[in-house]
Amino acid sequence: MNRIINDPDLVVEDAIEGYVVAHPEFFEKTDNSRVLKYSGSEKKGKVGIITGGGSGHEPAFLGYVGKNMVDAVAIGEIFSSPTAGAFLDAMKAADSGAGVACLYGNYAGDNMNVKMAIKKATAAGITVKTVVANDDVASAPASEKEKRRGVAGEILMWKIGGAAAAEGYDLDGVIAAAQKAINNCRSIGVGLSSCTIPAVGKPNFHIEKGTMELGIGHHGEPGIKVVPIETAKEMAETMLHPIMEEGLFEPGSEVVVLVSGLGATPVMELYIYYAEVERLLKAKNVKIHRCYVGNYFTSLEMMGVTLSVMKLDAELKKLIDIPARSLGLVQE
Amino acid sequence: MNRIINDPDLVVEDAIEGYVVAHPEFFEKTDNSRVLKYSGSEKKGKVGIITGGGSGHEPAFLGYVGKNMVDAVAIGEIFSSPTAGAFLDAMKAADSGAGVACLYGNYAGDNMNVKMAIKKATAAGITVKTVVANDDVASAPASEKEKRRGVAGEILMWKIGGAAAAEGYDLDGVIAAAQKAINNCRSIGVGLSSCTIPAVGKPNFHIEKGTMELGIGHHGEPGIKVVPIETAKEMAETMLHPIMEEGLFEPGSEVVVLVSGLGATPVMELYIYYAEVERLLKAKNVKIHRCYVGNYFTSLEMMGVTLSVMKLDAELKKLIDIPARSLGLVQE
């Protein structure tokens, strides 16, 4: 795999350098080289929103640091959890006295490190509460929802949590809104090709030409099944089916749809796919209030697409519509 | 190549359907299925900005339709010029009495079709003037600048032209500003891997593992040379060298830098590369007033990066800073 890098072991450091120098309007360095904070933060007494995760998913996670979004981010190695120290320093960077909402994805490393960080933050007098995203329906059955991974639905959780904090919600209110966002969200992905971690130098896994893997994870975690590649229309049906089976999106409901490429998927294909999703939801009398289509949560240069659907109530609808500004999401 | 499509011969139609249904805030259909116009257009008497080009470069070209940007776009097949009829209908869609600035790239098919469209537009009473982008330094020597291709610098030309029109410039003024933008802009690309046109089904060209093609075009047009793959730092030097050799970017000058991935390049690599470009320009005492880093002008799922540098004067600086809103570029 030909790449645009310097040292394969320093891609995260080198990329952070680029983000900071390109976007002083979003990023401010902290004493921890793996923690960036929002440079435009002004509001004392606002609940701080933090997240963190492995690199290679750009614009996630750091691309959602910004106005009415995430206040500080802990940055891990490619596809690896940030350290407990990075989570702790992100909590410290985001706290302005009203506590910190740590909104992250359900992965073993992140769970462990967040837990350790909270212990130390609490000792330092910072109140931290968490929401653990588990929107990926392919990663465990509904009866074991606590085992499900967090995927692109995390972006909607950050959007809702960030908007709630901006609106002056207290910590419990922010946590409740973010938790509702992820409770109301279901996601699934398909992988069409693999990706290569620079320091490893060979593909992370393998997908045969002419096949696709339904339910693949953001790091190539095995999906539900490998099937012959489908048309965009069939893919939309195949992916929407397990989402609708959750029983959440009844006729008449209003939703947000997020379609994300996994890195190498041409933008035009994401829109071909989105048109099919829109048709299917319309036929089920589910109204799309707002959509996001693009490379929002990637896996290096993987080919594929993820679909996330979040059901709205009056509160979520108000919060999703609040303007936001970050590298990965600009909304006026 | 595994893809997310329905019929390989209908990818452009299917994608347009997706763009329109996802983004009514930007796109309005016209009687010509290959022409979209800006749905938010209000201002009568404003110079209309149009462009057009082949598909597969998304978000270019249609992604730059929007507020203070492009008013109508002619859409071609993958990597092919729109028809003369589509250019003509875009001109008609964008005209509100003050004439139309057609800002497009220097390709044989586009040149021919725009020329034919202008003849018919003129006969229909619409004044059309053109700027032909030729920012790619790799495509011909400086002595034959009129042979050079237009590449990602076109985005800066649209930004400047769109801002000038929004500011109330007349047609000659818009044309002069857009022409200055492209005259002051130099670009070059490197390709690290090929791409596959859906209807063709096999790679468009070939790049050996461990090599890169300097000066490659947006459709895989042969570059200056194939060399062993370099580090991001070396690539930045190799690409900046011919740009600086043009003698335009003297010490003390202020510039806009646009770094675009070609489709499959992970975002983190674009920022690793950008950090190197920034360091090199700083060392040459060239000040970056504004930067754009992302997948702004792609070639399906090609791996690679393009670098565009535009020198600013007081007018261009004012125009580049005017807010804009489109799918591919949001600036507040």
Per-residue confidence in pLDDT tens, chain B, 332 aa: 789 999 999 999 999 999 999 999 999 999 999 999 999 987 789 999 999 999 999 999 999 999 999 999 999 999 999 999 999 999 999 999 999 999 999 999 999 999 999 999 999 999 999 999 999 999 999 999 999 999 999 999 999 999 999 999 999 999 999 999 999 999 999 999 999 999 898 888 889 999 999 999 999 898 899 999 999 999 999 999 999 999 999 999 999 999 999 999 999 999 999 999 999 999 999 999 999 999 999 999 999 999 999 999 999 999 999 999 999 999 98
Among the partner residues A4, A193, A276, nearest to B265 by beta-carbon distance: A4
Using the predicted structure, report yes or no on whether residue A318 has a pLDDT greater than 80.
yes
CATH of domain B11-184: 3.40.50.10440
CA-CA distance, B110 to B105, in Å (whole number)? Answer: 7
Contact A212 B2 (CB under 8 A): yes
- The share of chain A scoring above pLDDT 90, in percent, equals 93
Indicate the DSSP class of residue A140. Answer: S
Please indicate whether the domains covering B11-184 and B186-320 agree at the CATH topology level: no
The answer to whether B9 and B30 are in contact (CB under 8 A) is: no
How do residues A54-83 score in pLDDT, each as one tens digit?
Answer: 999 999 999 999 999 999 999 999 999 999
Q: Average pLDDT of A127-135?
A: 98
Tell me if residue B219 is catalytic. yes
How do residues A15-69 score in pLDDT, each as one tens digit?
Answer: 999 999 999 999 999 999 999 999 998 778 999 999 999 999 999 999 999 999 9
Interface residue B211 vs chain A (CB under 8 A): yes
Interface residue A13 vs chain B (CB under 8 A): no
Q: Please, which residues 262-291 of chain B have a Cβ atom closer than 8 Å to chain A?
A: 263-276, 278, 291
Query: How many cross-chain Cβ pairs, A to B, lie less than 8 Å apart?
Result: 177
Contact B18 A271 (CB under 8 A): yes
Chain B residues in contact with A289 by the CB 8 A cut-off are: none
Which CATH architecture fits B186-320? Answer: 2-Layer Sandwich (3.30)
Distance from CA of A220 to the nearest CA of B (A): 16
How do residues A224-241 score in pLDDT, each as one tens digit?
Answer: 999 999 999 999 999 999
Q: Average pLDDT of A180-200?
A: 95
Q: What's the confidence (pLDDT) of residue A137? A: 97
Interface residue A33 vs chain B (CB under 8 A): no
Contact A272 B5 (CB under 8 A): yes
Contact A267 B2 (CB under 8 A): no
Fold of domain A8-184: Rossmann fold (3.40.50)
- Of all residues in chain A, the one with the smallest CA distance to B264 is A264
Q: Average pLDDT of A163-172?
A: 98
- Note the ipTM here: 0.96
Per-domain boundaries in chain B: 11-184, 186-320
CATH class of A185-320: alpha beta
Contact A295 B298 (CB under 8 A): no
CA-CA distance, B53 to B273, in Å (whole number)? Answer: 27
Q: What's the confidence (pLDDT) of residue A44? A: 85
- Of all residues in chain B, the one with the smallest CA distance to A256 is B22
Chain B residues in contact with A5 by the CB 8 A cut-off are: 231-232, 269, 272
| pLDDT level of residue A1 (50, 70, 90 thresholds) | confident
Q: What's the confidence (pLDDT) of residue A220? A: 87
Distance from CA of A11 to the nearest CA of B (A): 7
Interface residue B193 vs chain A (CB under 8 A): yes
Contact B268 A56 (CB under 8 A): yes
Catalytic residue of the set B23, B206, B218, B219: B219
Q: Please, which residues 79-138 of chain A have a Cβ atom closer than 8 Å to chain B?
A: none
Contact A2 B192 (CB under 8 A): yes
Q: What's the confidence (pLDDT) of residue B1? A: 74
Contact B266 A18 (CB under 8 A): no
